[in-house]
Amino acid sequence: MAGGSEADSDYLRFLEAVSHSQIPPDLVPDNLVLVEDDSEEEEEEDSEGRGRVVGREVANEQIKSKMSLKSSAAERDIDDEEEVSSSHLDGLFCPICMEPWTSGGDHQICCLPCGHIYGLSCIKKWLRQRKASGKCPQCNSKCMLKDVRLLYASQIVVVDEELQKKVRHLESRCATLEKEGAEWRKKEHQWHRTETDLRMQVNQLRERTRYIEDLSGNSQVRPSTSFSGPHLVSKIDGQKFLHNFGLQGDLNIEGARLFDIDAVSHCIIVARRVSLMGGAQVLTKISLLPPYEKEDYSLPSGTKAIKDLQLSPYSRLVLLASLGKTLSVISTESNNAILRYDLPAAAWSCSWDHKNSHSIYAGLQNGMVLQFDMRQTSRPVQSMAGLTENPIHTLHSLSADLALGSGIKSVLSASSVGLCQWNFGGSKERPTLIPESENQGVCISVAYSPLSDNIVASFRPKIRISGDTVASQHMPFHSTPLSGQCVHGSHVFYKRIGSKYQYCGSTTANVNHIRLPKSAVIDKQNKHTLFASGDEATGNLVLQELPTFEVVQKFSIPSHPIRDLKHVDIDNSELLCCLSEDRLQLFK
């Protein structure tokens, strides 16, 4: 009876194994009946009253019931709803007891003639149920106990080729989906950035719209008081006009040295030396409309200090004079150097021709002035030596003089010797010194207005050397230093009439005895002409009426000294820009 109890246990364990291993019900032998070991008789009932004989119908119903539950669960877990064979477990567990087989001992791995693999003890128990008609539990192939063959292997793993193909397909699909997901995440990040940029642009456009609306309203109702300093009232045809500048913007710009204003595109181009970039020279484009957007342009490597910067009046090009013996034409649209001229000496100044879009000029350290035609990129069209070998620190293209002829182009230069006019395309090979300019001292700055041909030159005293036989310059003021680098100098007003220059007046001025300052002439229709310059003693930006040099406005500049000054008309509004140490102030 003990054998019968063991048989019952084995049968129940087999049912559990069949249900776990997902063996289809149609592979379960129809005559699956468990009997006790070494007994051909079937007992009806054990001592506990439990039936020992399990009929084929009952066995099959139990198997099918468990298999139905497992099958429904498997169908929920498998996405493609395809039935997965249980043969992938053959390489790991005995399909009867669902325990790992061993390489030796009672549960050593073995096989039947049909090829199915089992643990030795499990298949022996199975075949002993029917000594005369033993069958394989999986395929019902007839076999005997003597047909069992031991397998001598440490581990057997059977790989299902169909499952492997499916795994490879799913892995490939996962990799594709991961790649697509990464691309979509990247696009999503770009979309977020684009959305942020668009929101910023919308806000900036709104601010600009409000600014323009305020400007339009202010142009219709002019204020009666000045924003800063006194105002000048001029009388023309019985009407009063206010020359009134007010501070509109104050920008921090590191390492700024020079700038120019593009009235067409409403922007400023600034030449900077950036210490964080190893002293590299860069151009910075700044919008004149709030919030004053900035954009940097890198200059070619090896570009040395920029001595002069001039924007073209015809197109979005900037002309750069460099100590690296180069004259460059840079496009502010593409940020590329479209032309580069090698010079015989360092360039100190440059200018566009205001009557010819192809002609440009360069003033050199050795006193020469060169004329270039941008259509000829190999060499200058004409070069002229100066009266001395002193550097040409300022160049201005002059308005046309009909008396000289249509082919003559005139340029006004400034050096320590004074003011000179250069006529290119004519018979003269030397410049002409403007009378009386050599007797004023050392010329350090020249402001010129092509609208009115008004010129204001700034001078400082010549340095007196002990025992010098040259007569000292007659000055209506003493020439001793005031404090630091400030000395008494002068501003002299000239009026150009054709090829002649008329002296119109002068005034004393506090100028720097080392630096070369910048100044500007402010011409406006139906208004008096103003002259803007820096006062080295007070650090103020001073506006003076011409020709009397009466002070009409003063602005306190937070940083000193003033490096550059520019004036331009934009949309019928005057704009005066002042560049000092790392600060750019806008006055309207």
Distance CA 214, CA 223 (A): 13
**Structure confidence at residue 83 (pLDDT):** 44
DSSP 299-356: PPTT---EEEEEE-SSSSEEEEEETTTEEEEEETTTTEEEEEEE-SS-EEEEEE-TT-
Nearest to 505 by CA among 548, 467, 476: 548
Distance CA 103, CA 152 (A): 6
**pLDDT at 329 > cutoff 50:** yes
**Structure confidence at residue 205 (pLDDT):** 77
Low-confidence winner among 45-54, 116-125, 401-410 (lowest mean pLDDT): 45-54
**pLDDT at 65 > cutoff 60:** no
Q: Residue 315 — pLDDT band, cuts 50, 70, 90?
A: confident
Give Cβ neighbours of residue 586 (< 8 Å, ≥ 6 apart).
247, 248, 249, 250, 251, 288, 575, 576, 577
Bridge partners (DSSP) of residue 247 are 587
**pLDDT at 306 > cutoff 70:** yes
Distance CA 220, CA 320 (A): 40
**Structure confidence at residue 61 (pLDDT):** 58
Nearest to 405 by CA among 350, 351, 355, 455: 355
Low-confidence winner among 98-107, 146-155, 157-166, 372-381 (lowest mean pLDDT): 157-166
Tell me the three state secondary structure of residue 470.
coil
Query: What average pLDDT does this structure show over 338-362?
Result: 91
Strand boundaries in 137-254, DSSP class E: 149-150, 232-236, 239-243, 247-252
Distance CA 544, CA 245 (A): 13
Highest averaged pLDDT of the listed ranges 91-100, 145-154, 212-221, 411-420:
411-420
Give Cβ neighbours of residue 436 (< 8 Å, ≥ 6 apart).
503
| φ/ψ of residue 176, rounded to 5 | -65, -45
Q: Residue 160 — pLDDT band, cuts 50, 70, 90?
A: low
DSSP 492-517: EEEEEETTEEEEEEEEEEEEESSS--
Q: Is 405 left (phi over 0), alpha (psi -120 to 50) or beta?
A: left
Q: Residue 14 — pLDDT band, cuts 50, 70, 90?
A: low
Which of the two residues, 104 and 369, has the higher pLDDT score?
Answer: 369
Distance CA 474, CA 439 (A): 8
Highest averaged pLDDT of the listed ranges 13-17, 278-282, 397-401:
397-401
Tens-place pLDDT, residues 223-254: 333 333 444 433 334 443 445 788 888 888 88
Query: What average pLDDT does this structure show over 51-69?
Result: 48
Distance CA 364, CA 353 (A): 17
Q: Are 523 and 449 in contact (CB under 8 A)?
A: yes
Q: Residue 362 burial (CB < 10 Å; 0-12/13-18/19+)?
A: buried
Which of the two residues, 120 and 48, has the higher pLDDT score?
Answer: 120
Average model confidence (pLDDT) for the chain? 77
Distance CA 366, CA 384 (A): 11
Q: Are 587 and 246 in contact (CB under 8 A)?
A: yes
Query: What average pLDDT does this structure show over 137-164?
Result: 80
Q: Are 305 and 279 in contact (CB under 8 A)?
A: no
**pLDDT at 123 > cutoff 70:** yes
Nearest to 489 by CA among 507, 464, 501: 507
Which of the two residues, 332 and 108, has the higher pLDDT score?
Answer: 108
| φ/ψ of residue 338, rounded to 5 | -85, -20
Tell me the three state secondary structure of residue 267.
strand
Nearest to 421 by CA among 388, 398, 445: 398
Which of the two residues, 103 and 24, has the higher pLDDT score?
Answer: 103
Q: Are 331 and 312 in contact (CB under 8 A)?
A: no
How many Å is the Cα radius of gyration of the chain?
50
Strand boundaries in 92-166, DSSP class E: 109-111, 117-119, 149-150
Q: Which two tokens stand for residue 80?
A: 């493609």
Which of the two residues, 320 and 76, has the higher pLDDT score?
Answer: 320
Q: Is 38 left (phi over 0), alpha (psi -120 to 50) or beta?
A: left
User: 2-21 and 56-77 are packed helices; what angle lies between their axes, rounded to 10 degrees?
Assistant: 30
Query: What average pLDDT does this structure show over 154-162?
Result: 66
Q: Are 585 and 248 in contact (CB under 8 A)?
A: no
Degrees, nearest 5: CA angle 388-394-400 = 100
Low-confidence winner among 296-310, 365-379, 424-438, 460-474 (lowest mean pLDDT): 460-474
